[in-house]
Amino acid sequence: MPRCSLSRWITPLVVLLISTTVSSAQSSMNATVAEAVAFADSAETLLYDLGVKAGRAAWVQANFITHDTEILAAEANEAYVAAAVGLATEAARFNGLDLDYDTARKLNALRTSLTMPAPNDAAKTAELSQISARMESTYGRGEYCPDGADGECLSLPDMSQIMAQSRDADELLDVWTGWRTVSPAMRTDYQRFVDLMNEGARDLGFTDVGAMWRSNYDMDPDDFAAELDRLWGQVQPLYEGLHCYVRAGLAEEYGEDTVPLDEPLPAHLLGNMWAQQWGNIYDLVAPASSDPGYDLTELIDEEGMDAIEMVQTGERFFTSLGLDPLPETFYERSLFTKPADRDVVCHASAWDLDDQDDLRIKMCIEPNAEDFQTIHHELGHNYYQRAYKNLTTLYRGSANDGFHEALGDAVALSVTPAYLVELGLLDEEPPASSDIGLLLRDALDKIAFLPFGLLVDQYRWKVFSGEIGPDEYNAAWWELREQYQGIQAPNARTEDLFDPGAKYHVPANVPYTRYFLAHILQFQFHRSLCEAAGYEGPLNRCSIYGNEEAGRRLDAMMQMGASRPWPEALEALTGSPEMDATAIIDYFAPLMTWLDEQNAGRSCGW
């Protein structure tokens, strides 16, 4: 979610920063501890000022979409990014100095904040920027024009809708293949992109870009990679059971010639362009009795809840934990419904405009179950943002980049039948036998996502390190898809193609591990909060609503922000400094038992 902060004049500050950075390489040998401390302090001041300005410009642009607001937001963001790039390069001056904890942590945060490190060469930096813009534009303009379509072309949203709704295997294959005609043009650019970024990473003191990204996790980069594989090993049995069950359902729908029962799943039949989430094919694999016993959207409608009441209900969830109410300005300044007189960005997001108390959400709320859960998720971000407001600028963030999303999702896991009974929306909890359909639907999105969430960066880290060379960009991608997901391409994928580029985060150079971590941590957070609340029973039925001990644990972690290594923040909440994916197994235990029963006699695996 956007953490939008921001403020005044930018250009003179950026010019000063750039001029300082240019001379930094020459003076790095003479850097002192005192200079490092002063630099960290001035960097925080600069980033705060530019951040507040950029955030306010972004808020206005999202809520009043015009040509001018887009320009103003882009200019403010460009100034912030330019400053961050310059500060990261300048921070490298102080590598090797014996610094106090806070200064060292803040300088490392500056160095690892970049995802696209540029070389210390103006011409190469310009080339890197041009390649980045070109790849993003190629992706953004991407479309597929089917033969015989009378000139009508399909955008990615058009194709995504077909992937979600069609049950025609030939149509799905055509659209799946068609989208991947967009990315081969990126292949040569991506190779040069990797070379230039690696040079920039080395200039900052890292062996390659992958090591730089992994250095942002308070662990040795190689140890962190091993940690991810350990977590995957904990949840792999549940994924394999889901995979086996889904394969049988797809084979029944499309025939075993199309979906062989002893092979990886065809990538085009899972309801999603990248086969990263499978919820869109729930109707093909839903259990015979999948009625959860209630419809939350109907309950909201019967109660006559409007957008404000839905948000107030979400806020009461947090105050029931002993946390303070949101400031009055939250209700005055947030956007809750779509205005009738202008276009706005309706995508739900949580905002912190001044790193203090100017908290807001931006949503076009509809009275339905999805938005009810989303409100709880977004307010989780707001409460996290406020909890660390007393820290300095570089510490105002989550313990690692997976924590913020994990916390919002963990809160949403407490929207259970028991919680709805507490609210008076539901008279009584349905029997536990009603949970299988809900758990399966959740698993088709959250469990199916896990191997994909892991492999996207596994792939790029190997590319950055040189383990995967340009001559095997495509083959290596599909080897990892099969290894982790048990998914295969539905037709021949040769090395003149570039299928990784068909996923936005690759050409846009957005790290992906955060999404894997968020999916792991949300269940660990949920289990620990339920234990703190003294709950006993199926984990998927637990809600921490009304429990102040759970709120105390949550607040203790949130107040730490990014000031301490994430294992310490995790321990403050869970009692353990280690990530533990067994909470997922606990949450989905009823489904796992059911899947084992359904898969009896089947040959699972690939």
pLDDT at 79: 87
User: Are residues 359 and 330 in contact, defined by beta-carbon separation less than 8 angstroms?
Assistant: yes
519 is catalytic: no
- Report the distance separating Cα 38 and Cα 274, nearest Å: 47
Q: How far apart are CA 244 and CA 246, in angstroms?
A: 6
pLDDT of residue 82: 84
Q: Which mean pLDDT values do the consecutive 10-residue runs of the chain (606 residues) have?
A: 32 33 48 95 95 92 88 87 87 92 95 87 89 90 83 90 96 97 96 96 93 94 95 97 98 97 97 96 90 90 96 97 96 94 87 93 93 94 96 95 93 95 94 90 96 97 98 98 98 97 94 95 98 96 97 97 97 96 97 96 94
Question: What are the CA-CA distances from residue 200 to residues 1, 265, 458, 504 (Å)?
Answer: 28, 39, 20, 22
Calpha distance 568→577 (Å, rounded): 6
What distance in Å separates the CA atoms of residue 5 and residue 34, rounded to the nearest whole number?
28
Among 534, 540, 517, smallest CA distance to 433 is for 540
Which three-class secondary structure state does DSSP give residue 163?
helix
**One-letter amino acid identity for 450?**
L
Q: Nearest 5°: CA angle at 126, between 121 and 128? A: 95
Q: Is 376 one of the annotated active-site residues of the chain?
A: no
Question: Phi, psi at residue 359, to the nearest 5°?
Answer: -95, 145
User: What is the pLDDT at residue 65?
Assistant: 86
How high is the pLDDT of residue 11?
31
Task: Evaluate whether residue 423 is within a structural domain.
Answer: no
- Identified catalytic residue from 268, 376, 377, 519: 377
Distance of CA 311 to the CA centre of its chain: 23
What is the predicted pLDDT for the residue at 432?
A: 85
CA 140 from centre of chain:
20
Catalytic residue among 78, 347, 428, 467: 347
Contacts of 286 (CB under 8 A, 6+ apart): 437, 440, 441
pLDDT at site 285 = 95
Residue 39 counted as domain residue? yes
Residue in this structure with the two tokens 């209700």, named with its chain if needed = 331
Between the two ends of the chain, the Cα-to-Cα distance in Å is: 36
Active-site position among 348, 508, 556, 589: 348
Q: How far is CA 305 from the centre of its chain?
A: 30
Q: Are 201 and 208 in contact (CB under 8 A)?
A: yes
Residue at 27 is within a domain: yes
Q: What angle do CA 112, 115, 121 make, to 5 degrees?
A: 90
Q: Which of 388, 515, 535, 545 is catalytic?
A: 515
Residue 54 lies in a domain: yes
Whether 347 is catalytic: yes
Strands 349-352 and 359-362: antiparallel
Give the pair of three-digit tokens for residue 322. 């002993």
Annotated active-site residue in 199, 378, 482, 531: 378
Which pLDDT does position 169 carry in this prediction?
Answer: 97
* DSSP per-residue string spanning 219-273: S-HHHHHHHHHHHHHHHHHHHHHHHHHHHHHHHHHH-TTTS-TTSPEEGGGSSST
C-alpha span between 207 and 361 (Å, rounded): 40
Catalytic residue among 90, 199, 315, 405: 405
The reply to whether 500 falls in a domain is no
Pairing verdict, β 487-488 and 265-266: parallel
Strands (E) across 364-452 are located at none
In a domain, 349, yes or no: no
- The answer to whether residue 405 is catalytic is yes
Concerning whether 377 is annotated as a catalytic residue, the answer is yes
Which DSSP helix (H) or strand (E) runs through 133? helix 122-140
Q: Is 378 known to be catalytic? A: yes
Q: Residue count of the chain, please give it.
A: 606
Per the domain annotation, does 452 fall within a domain?
no
- Helices 513-532/566-574 angle, 10° precision: 30
Of all helices (H) and strands (E), which one includes residue 403? helix 403-412
Range of the domain at 55: 11-112
Neighbour count for residue 502 (Cβ, 10 Å):
23
Of 256, 505, 549, 556, which residue is the catalytic one?
Answer: 505
- Do 397 and 562 meet the contact criterion of CB atoms below 8 Å apart? yes
Whether 404 is catalytic is no
Residue 80 lies in a domain: yes
Token match 């070389």: residue? 119
Domain count within the chain: 1
Tokens 């609340």, residue located: 533
Q: Active-site residue among 268, 381, 519, 526?
A: 381
Q: For 327, which DSSP code? A: P
